[in-house]
Amino acid sequence: MKKNNFIYKILLMEIALAFSCQLTQASSSSFFAFGDTTEEAKYYQIITVPIPKNVVLEVGGLAFTDKDQLGVSTRRGEVWLLDNPYSRKPSYKRYAHGLHEALGLAWKDKGFYLTQRGELTRLEDKNGDGKADVYKTIYSWPLSGNYHDYSYGPKFTKDGDMLVTLNLSWIGYGESLSKWRGWLLKITPEGEMTPIATGLRSPSGFNLNADGDVFYTENQGDWVGSGRMTHLEAGDFAGNPGGLRWSGDPESPLKLKHSEVARESGMTMYEYAKIVPELKPPAVWFPHTILGISTSDILIDDRGGKFGPFEGQMLVGDQGHSKIMRVYMEKVNGVYQGAAFPFREGFSSGILRMIWGSDNSMFVGMTSRGWASTGGGMYGLQRLKWTGKMPFEMKTIKAEDDGFIVEFTKPVDKVTAANPASYKMTSFTYKYHYRYGSPIIDNQKCMIHKIDVAEDGLSAKLTVHGMRLGFIHQLEAPGVKAKDGSSLLHDTGYYTLNQVPGGELKSPQMAGQMKSSGKEIVQAKRVNKIPESWVDGPETTLTVGTLPGLKFDIAELEVKAGSKVQLVFENNDDMLHNFVITKPGDAIDKVSKMAEGLGLDGADLNYVPDTDLVLFHTGIIQPESTESIFFEAPTEPGEYRFVCTFPGHSYVMRGKFIVK
């Protein structure tokens, strides 16, 4: 009995300590991630690293020292050094401060390297007191003063050189206001710089694979239809022409001019690359709002199977959706392409940086100030640890000239895996144009013609009719079961098909297929013209704008019951937004959830679900654009709500619509 009481007390102490940790840091999750009962948590556990109350850890970069201390650079211009970062009580010491928004960090030769807004810097602690006493400029570049002039890195190459990426400025569209903005640069330890590639818009995530090849992730924006990952080589143009302003420089590896890139070609990137050979189509697309909205860091799984069954694959963070995706990459005819899958959701803030710890857990650094995220914390530091249990997943999708081979992490039930009804495939793509983002276009169903399941049950060859080069192929497999009866943890993958083995596509095309997307859909609750019955015009005109950081510029609107209203929505932000008025109560949350579930149809429907819970709405409005809608206010007084239902925005972008 005494022994049981002792154990009971210990358990109470553990719980109390965990909740104490919860109260001393910014994240809303405890050390043990209490309450995380999702299926994903059975396989990958999120553990919160406590942060002292007096430390604002808006993570910009992560790097481990030779002594297994975790260095963290922050957007506030500090570098913190964490001893025992794996423990429940890590110690924090400020290593450096007075820096300018350090959005990257690396460790080499007993010192930290980081990229500030205007320079690549080396920090070194000469006297061993745990504080940097050397701040050395390796290389600097000019600044325009624009708020969007973010700089990232460095990443070290095998030769010991460093790679950095520079964001475009934002002036209603991406522009290179100072030299080399929108470029990937290589810099030697001695400070010699070589420009490598351009066409980058917001390249916050980049890394090198085991072969030393460079990949970077991009966020939706002007010239960027959706999030994507691109393989960058010397002389590549990744799509946004802002950086081409400097292609005439003698050091530039390409001579393509901005004027040579059509603003509206009517083509996709894949098609336009046939005209402009410098243009590099993405290796992998991340469908916007479906697989994240703000792609960030890339981390290669080089853990030798100690982080699960995905050795060699890429893990990609998403800042807006506070989650991690998984990418299987293959090389076909010398061209990189591959499949993206969901992996792990539920992080406490917006993911910006990821790094491996010595215990094979992943440290995840987060920030949300000005870049709102589904995770409610303004910043955070968490670890992701494999529990040792094997998830049932599509491990890979590999391209064939007439279909795809799907590999699984566990043997499948051969009856369900061989049944064509267990699968569904759709192909689609995006426009390549100067506008912000793109709707899904050329949405077309494919037919799973035949399935051959391997003898060991670990793979299946899908013969497909309707494959198309240059398109994303969404493969859903909800009906496939494992041999042990379990369902797929994530039943959908997205393969970007740029090449097929042998170079000749042998998938028969679908006769009579029509494009099912990219058309105007009339939505009855979006009225853009003054009703003819309003002889004297609107009785009230309301104007709503936006602010940076996913905010409306007004928290409350007030109208008279039954009045005739003109609402002018001005999108002053650099992102896409809509304006939706819902019924009172929890309707705003239900509508937001339904909007997230619209999938491939979301863009066509302006991310507004067809439900009685929605009263009135605009369409999706481009940056620096305006739309007016007309409606009669509800006759029932009360507190209604307004919200932006663009996926990921509704958590913070909302307000009250008061009817009196």
How many Cβ atoms sit within 10 Å of the Cβ of residue 17?
A: 16
Residue 83's closest CA among 98, 67, 102?
67
- On the question of a cis peptide bond just before residue 309, with omega within 30 degrees of 0, the verdict is no
Assign residue 553 a region (left: φ > 0; alpha: ψ between -120 and 50; beta: otherwise).
alpha
The number of CA neighbours under 13 Å toward the Cβ of 549 is: 8
End-to-end CA distance of the chain: 66
How many Cβ atoms sit within 10 Å of the Cβ of residue 531?
A: 12
Distance in angstroms (rounded) separating the CA atoms of residues 581 and 89: 46
Provide the token pair at 117: 């807004």
Distance in angstroms (rounded) separating the CA atoms of residues 431 and 439: 7
Residue 573 pLDDT: 84
Residue 511 pLDDT: 54
Distance in angstroms (rounded) separating the CA atoms of residues 296 and 474: 22
> What does DSSP assign to residue 308?
B
Residue 480 pLDDT: 98
What backbone phi and psi angles, to 5 degrees, belong to 393? -140, 160
Q: Is residue 654 packed enough to be buried (19+ CB in 10 Å), middle (13-18) or exposed (0-12)?
A: buried
Distance in angstroms (rounded) separating the CA atoms of residues 252 and 327: 31
Distance in angstroms (rounded) separating the CA atoms of residues 153 and 166: 9
Q: Which amino acid is at 542?
A: L
Q: Are 366 and 350 spatial neighbours (Cβ–Cβ below 8 Å)? A: yes
Q: Which amino acid is at 122?
A: R
Q: Are 576 and 646 spatial neighbours (Cβ–Cβ below 8 Å)? A: yes
**3-class DSSP assignment, residue 608:** coil
Residue 371 pLDDT: 86
Please, which residues have CB within 8 angstroms of residue 88's CB and are 6 or more apart in sequence?
17, 18, 21, 31, 50
Q: Which residues of 154-170 are buried (b: 16+ CB within 10 A; e: fewer)?
A: bbbeeeebbbbbbbbbb
Residue 191's closest CA among 113, 138, 152?
138
Ranges of residues in the chain with a pLDDT under 70 are 1-35, 510-520
> Secondary structure of the chain: what % helix, strand, coil (to 5)?
10, 40, 50
**DSSP, residue by residue, 216-235:** EEE-SBBTBSSEEEEEE-TT
Residue 203's closest CA among 216, 187, 220, 222?
216
Provide the token pair at 488: 């797929």
**3-class DSSP assignment, residue 202:** coil
The angle subtended at Cα 391 by Cα 385 and Cα 392, nearest 5°, is: 160
Q: Are 409 and 393 spatial neighbours (Cβ–Cβ below 8 Å)? A: yes
Distance in angstroms (rounded) separating the CA atoms of residues 172 and 453: 52
Q: Are 500 and 450 spatial neighbours (Cβ–Cβ below 8 Å)? A: no
Q: Are 132 and 95 spatial neighbours (Cβ–Cβ below 8 Å)? A: yes
Distance in angstroms (rounded) separating the CA atoms of residues 652 and 408: 38
Residue 370 pLDDT: 87
CA distances from 170 to 116, 163, 370 (A): 18, 23, 15
**pLDDT tens, residue by residue, 67-78:** 999 999 999 999
C-alpha R_g of the chain: 26
What backbone phi and psi angles, to 5 degrees, belong to 414? -65, -25
pTM, full prediction:
0.83
β-partners of residue 474 are 426, 494
Distance in angstroms (rounded) separating the CA atoms of residues 634 and 654: 19
Residue 508 pLDDT: 86
Q: Length of the chain, please?
A: 660
**DSSP, residue by residue, 468-508:** -TTEEEEEE-TT-BBTTSPBPSS-EEEEEES--TTS---PP
**What sign has the CA pseudo-torsion 15, 17, 23, 25?**
negative
